Structure 1
Amino acid sequence: MNIVRHQIHMTAEWISDYAQSIEAPMQRIKGNLIAPSTMPIIFWKTFDIPWLSKGESLLHGTQKFSYQAPITAGMTLDCELALTSKVQKEGRQGKLTFYTHTLVCKCEDELIVTAETVLIRVGDNHDKKEHNS
């Protein structure tokens, strides 16, 4: 299994910017801004993910979030992204590769959120073998 880890500091500005970009209402708990539930989607930008090619076009399959507590401004999250499955199938457009990922974020060793994401690559550009003529 491929795993990468990254620490993410949640700022009120970052939460506010993301909430505005998706037109989500601003919410607070105990005076702290709460991140919209889909915000972990953009955490991926902070990771160097060796099993995905930079700049490669991928389709977004499914996304699921399971929260134990809200993400709030001021938190420092210890996040781990794991490639939990890679499956190839034949589709109408050719070969499809389904990458299933699990992102787990904790704050002070307490589980905050688990997100599962499926990304889909169309084509076999990574699996081509060079042919000698």
Structure 2
Amino acid sequence: MTKLHQRVQLSAEWISAYAKSIGAPMQTLNGVLIAPATMPVIFWKGFDIPWLHMNKPLIHGSQRFSYEAPITADMTLDCELSLTKIEKKAGKQGELTFYTHSLVCKCEGEHIVTAETVLIAVGGGI
């Protein structure tokens, strides 16, 4: 399985706590709290990601966000996490395996954000 689904409900308290944890300013749009742009990285906590179950450390390679609309308090997001590419490369410490992921979040069918994340396993992977 290379696709997982999850529903995420955002409260003003959750957005506020995340913003404070990263030192981001609180922002509002029409009186509604807006989530910091990097907040989708913590949506991963709700997924059980079977292709990343390995006895090797993972290194964060890169992350990119593409927004169509802001994430705001009281939004319910339908999120799909996909493994889009696995690539092996030679590194100084041995084989490296690059796992490229796409997290797509929609609200009421409207695209809100796509977050692309690359994680790297040292010594190979699946």
Residue type at the aligned position of 1:17:
A
Residue matched to 1:57? 57
Mapping for residues 102-113 of structure 1, pairs under 5 Å: 102-113=102-113
Choose between structure 1 and 2: higher helix proportion.
2
Structure 1 CA distance for aligned equivalents of residues 65 and 101 of structure 2: 12
Structure 1 residue 56 displacement after superposition: 4.9
Structure 1 CA distance for aligned equivalents of residues 55 and 123 of structure 2: 15
Q: What is the number of residues matched between the two proteins?
A: 126
Larger-Rg structure:
1
Deviates more, 1:8-17 or 1:49-58: 49-58
TM-score (norm 1): 0.90
> Runs of at least 4 residues of structure 1 off by over 4 A?
none
Residue type at the aligned position of 2:42:
I
Structure 2 CA distance for aligned equivalents of residues 122 and 54 of structure 1: 11
CA pair 55-42 structure 1, distance change in 2 beyond 3 A: farther
Structure 1 residue 31 displacement after superposition: 1.4
Q: Any unmatched runs of 5+ in structure 2? A: none
Structure 1 residue 57 displacement after superposition: 2.3
Q: Any unmatched runs of 5+ in structure 1? A: 128-133
Structure 2 CA distance for aligned equivalents of residues 18 and 54 of structure 1: 28
TM-score (norm 2): 0.95
Q: Percent identity?
A: 64
Residue matched to 1:20? 20
Structure 1 residue 123 displacement after superposition: 1.1
